[in-house]
A and B are shown apart, each in its own frame.
Chain A
Amino acid sequence: MTFTVQFLIDVLSLGGAYALMALGLVIVYGILKLVNFAYGELIMVAGYAMFLMGGSGLPWLVMAGVAVIMAVIAGIATDYVAFRPVRAKSVTAVLITSFAFSTLLQNAALLFISPRPRPVPLPDIFSQTVTIFGAITPVRNLITIVAAIVLLALFAWLMRRTVLGIAMRAAATNFTMARMLGVPANLIITSAFAISGFLAGVVGLLWIGRIGTVVPGIGLEPLLVAFIATVIGGMRSMTGAVIGGFLLALIDTTLNYTLSQELLKFRDAFTFSLVILILLWRPDGLIKGPASGQRT
């Protein structure tokens, strides 16, 4: 019983974080059909915003809010710097510019802050633990689960019920047609980046809450996770991204419990080989999204 609860909470909290990361990546991919390599750096931006406000004495929630807003701004900046100038030209060009933008942000952090880990202020509740059915669980895992449920519900509502969400889904299905029917392309794309930044900001707080410090390279792991999750779930489907996130968490947690120490070192190699295999078996991922229209 204890083990089951422990395992379940591990999977759900890790999966919740993974699902949010994947969602932030796939919302941009869905519309533009382009991968944003600078996605992990949005998480880094949120982390450094927290670090810089660390000594200010503001309430934690205010700092967290500002950090998320910084991530949103960084997301929009990605659009303006890396995507808009080259969007219409070539797929490869955009991939490279977003990779370059990611390097730019990372090295800016190296240059202006420090290559060494920096502490991030965290509320006390993040370090407390509770016992559920005999399983000792950090409270932050429960916070992650709740945050994931709330955000996923909010996101589903946004995409289904609001004009913005419907326009975004229309643009993801058939961009040209949506434009012809009066959906403003640039606004939709910028909103997608803003939402991507918002999700990255929230995930960043939860993610950094596990470690307590922020380094310039912190974005790499979330980026890889988001990649795998979206690829497993289906690059075009947002539901797929969420399912992919939870599935990846299930695989990771199971490997953590079952692999021997010797093999655990190679865990990343295992998961990435799995991605390659899934892509070979189903190049569109497990869940097929709407048929893709032409890019801008």
Chain B
Amino acid sequence: MKRHLLTVAILGGLIVLLVLVNQWLGIRLYDRIATNLCISLVLVLGLQVFMGNSGILSFAHMGFMGVGAYTSAVLTIPAQMKGMALPDLYPFLQAVQVSPYLAIAAGGIVAALVAAALSYPLMRLSDAAAVITSFALLVVLYTVMTHWSQVTNGPRTLFGLPKATDLPLAAGVAILALIAALVFKESRTGRLLRASRDDETAAAALGAHIPSLRWRAFILAALFAGVGGALWGHFITSFSPKAFYLKETFLILSMLVIGGANTVTGAIVGTFIVTIAYESLRGFEGVLNEAKIMSNPVIGLTEIVLALAMIAVLALRPGGLFPTREIGALFGRKKTRQENAG
């Protein structure tokens, strides 16, 4: 128990530190980066809840982020704006306008409900079949988002969301997500699920009902994704379905994998490292574009470096930076060892 509290304290402290440093610096650009970082934390922790505990790669996560973002958008865009932003909206939704904070929660719940309804049968599959179906699920969600113009304004940009997400809110949600991910990991479901990850046959023989365990983790992951998506929607205030597809999946996945998918610590450390690397590379691209070294605008450099980093990490440390132990356990172990030696 103590080591879990230590983990929460260290990782939560990291997030609080981020907020404090940002307040102290007071630069608007950093404010944006830090808020994005906290939203990414929520998303990556959600992916960790499913992937880390079940050992199954899921591509569908971004789709549920989209579900959350669009749900929250439909609930919060002011009634007089809806005529412009969503001209084809169903009449019974036209007058609806709730507080963004309620809508963010609703976004998470709707994403979780959608996941619960769609995913139960998929949880029976393992390995490649599971990955391909989750990929298929992402494509289905993306296709629906791109063409259901009544609710999403089709492939066009949806605008008019009230700006409600600021750094303290995003950081608060990130800390809640951190605690929830750790609690789930140590819960009975989480432990059984990790047993099934390490040996499916043995876990099933011990009586673990694997599809139902995976299902619970998947729903929780979708809840995180939906909340993350809604937070992001209220931060960026206008977006299109393209924001919830492969490029973003790659980014979220690289955060989790570089940090280590099996631990909550890995998810958080990975998000910090990748966000910092991503933003510096973006800045560097900007500098290159200003200097006009190449005739074309420089794009894609960031993704190339991230992809190389991902391959290198997986080749050298397949488990990521924190493959098995949470940071609290690592510190705790060191201390016990010193006490024993002394």
- B290 an interface residue at 8 Å Cβ cutoff? no
Can you list 23 pairs linking A and B with CB atoms under 8 Å apart?
A34-B128, A35-B131, A81-B311, A89-B318, A92-B261, A96-B314, A100-B254, A103-B250, A103-B306, A103-B307, A104-B304, A106-B303, A107-B299, A110-B299, A111-B299, A111-B304, A235-B129, A268-B140, A272-B140, A276-B122, A276-B133, A279-B125, A280-B121
Indicate if the CB atoms of A283 and B257 lie closer than 8 Å. Answer: no
Interface residues of B in 301-342 (CB under 8 A from A): 301, 303-304, 306-308, 310-311, 314-315, 318
Indicate if the CB atoms of A266 and B254 lie closer than 8 Å. Answer: no
Indicate whether A272 sits within 8 Å of B124 (C-beta atoms), given known contacts A85-B315, A92-B57, A103-B250: no
- B296 an interface residue at 8 Å Cβ cutoff? yes
- A107–B302 Cα distance when bound, in Å, is 9
Looking at chain A, what size class is its interface with the partner chain? Answer: 35 or more
- A246 an interface residue at 8 Å Cβ cutoff? no
Among A95, A231, A272, the residue within 8 A (CB) of B129 is A231
- A273 an interface residue at 8 Å Cβ cutoff? yes
Indicate if the CB atoms of B310 and A100 lie closer than 8 Å. Answer: yes
Nearest-neighbor residue (CB-CB) of A104 within chain B: B307
- A272–B140 Cα distance when bound, in Å, is 6
* Most-contacted residue by chain B among A34, A103, A109, A110 (CB, 10 A): A103
Indicate if the CB atoms of B136 and A283 lie closer than 8 Å. Answer: no
Nearest-neighbor residue (CB-CB) of A269 within chain B: B143
- A89–B261 Cα distance when bound, in Å, is 14
- A115–B135 Cα distance when bound, in Å, is 24
Interface residues of B in 10-25 (CB under 8 A from A): none
- A34–B128 Cα distance when bound, in Å, is 7
Indicate if the CB atoms of A103 and B144 lie closer than 8 Å. Answer: no
Nearest-neighbor residue (CB-CB) of A109 within chain B: B300
Interface residues of A in 94-131 (CB under 8 A from B): 95-97, 99-101, 103-104, 106-111, 114-115
Indicate if the CB atoms of B131 and A280 lie closer than 8 Å. Answer: no
CB-CB under 8 A from A280, the residues of chain B are: 121-122, 124
Indicate if the CB atoms of A114 and B296 lie closer than 8 Å. Answer: yes
Kindly supply a per-residue 1/0 record for chain A positions 225-245, scoring 1 wherever the CB is within 8 Å of any chain B CB and 0 otherwise. Answer: 001100100010000000000
CB-CB under 8 A from A275, the residues of chain B are: 132-133, 136
A275 to chain B, nearest CB (A): 5
Judged by DSSP, the binding face of A is helix
- B246 an interface residue at 8 Å Cβ cutoff? yes
Indicate if the CB atoms of A97 and B311 lie closer than 8 Å. Answer: yes
Indicate if the CB atoms of B299 and A97 lie closer than 8 Å. Answer: no
- A177 an interface residue at 8 Å Cβ cutoff? no
CB-CB under 8 A from A139, the residues of chain B are: none
B interface residues, Cβ below 8 angstroms from A:
51, 55-57, 121-122, 124-125, 127-129, 131-133, 135-137, 139-140, 143-144, 147, 246-247, 250, 253-254, 257, 261, 296, 298-301, 303-304, 306-308, 310-311, 314-315, 318
Among B56, B144, B253, the residue within 8 A (CB) of A266 is B144
Indicate if the CB atoms of B298 and A111 lie closer than 8 Å. Answer: yes
Indicate if the CB atoms of B128 and A100 lie closer than 8 Å. Answer: no
Indicate whether A103 sits within 8 Å of B303 (C-beta atoms), given known contacts A86-B315, A272-B140: yes
Among A29, A106, A228, A273, the residue within 8 A (CB) of B128 is A29
B59 to chain A, nearest CB (A): 9
Among A93, A231, A266, A268, the residue within 8 A (CB) of B314 is A93
B5 to chain A, nearest CB (A): 30
- A224–B57 Cα distance when bound, in Å, is 17
- A179 an interface residue at 8 Å Cβ cutoff? no
Kindly supply a per-residue 1/0 record for chain A positions 8-52, scoring 1 wherever the CB is within 8 Å of any chain B CB and 0 otherwise. Answer: 000000000000000000000100011100000000000000000
- A275–B135 Cα distance when bound, in Å, is 11
Indicate if the CB atoms of A227 and B315 lie closer than 8 Å. Answer: no
Nearest-neighbor residue (CB-CB) of A91 within chain B: B127
- A280–B132 Cα distance when bound, in Å, is 12
- A250 an interface residue at 8 Å Cβ cutoff? no
- A133–B137 Cα distance when bound, in Å, is 41
Indicate if the CB atoms of B135 and A227 lie closer than 8 Å. Answer: yes
Indicate if the CB atoms of B132 and A231 lie closer than 8 Å. Answer: yes
- A101–B301 Cα distance when bound, in Å, is 14
Indicate whether A224 sits within 8 Å of B133 (C-beta atoms), given known contacts A92-B261, A97-B314: no
B77 to chain A, nearest CB (A): 23
Indicate if the CB atoms of B136 and A276 lie closer than 8 Å. Answer: yes
Q: Knowing that A33-B127, A96-B57, A104-B307 are A-B contacts, what are 11 other residue pairs whose CB atoms are under 8 Å apart, sorted by A's residue number?
A: A86-B314, A97-B314, A103-B250, A104-B303, A108-B300, A110-B299, A235-B128, A268-B140, A268-B143, A280-B122, A280-B124
Indicate if the CB atoms of A224 and B139 lie closer than 8 Å. Answer: yes
CB-CB under 8 A from B136, the residues of chain A are: 227-228, 272, 275-276
Indicate if the CB atoms of B140 and A100 lie closer than 8 Å. Answer: no
B266 to chain A, nearest CB (A): 14
CB-CB under 8 A from B298, the residues of chain A are: 111
Indicate if the CB atoms of A100 and B131 lie closer than 8 Å. Answer: no
Among A93, A115, A269, A276, the residue within 8 A (CB) of B318 is A93
A268 to chain B, nearest CB (A): 5
Indicate whether A265 sits within 8 Å of B147 (C-beta atoms), given known contacts A97-B314, A110-B299, A110-B300: yes
Indicate whether A283 sits within 8 Å of B147 (C-beta atoms), given known contacts A97-B311, A101-B307, A103-B303: no
B217 to chain A, nearest CB (A): 15
CB-CB under 8 A from A85, the residues of chain B are: 311, 314-315
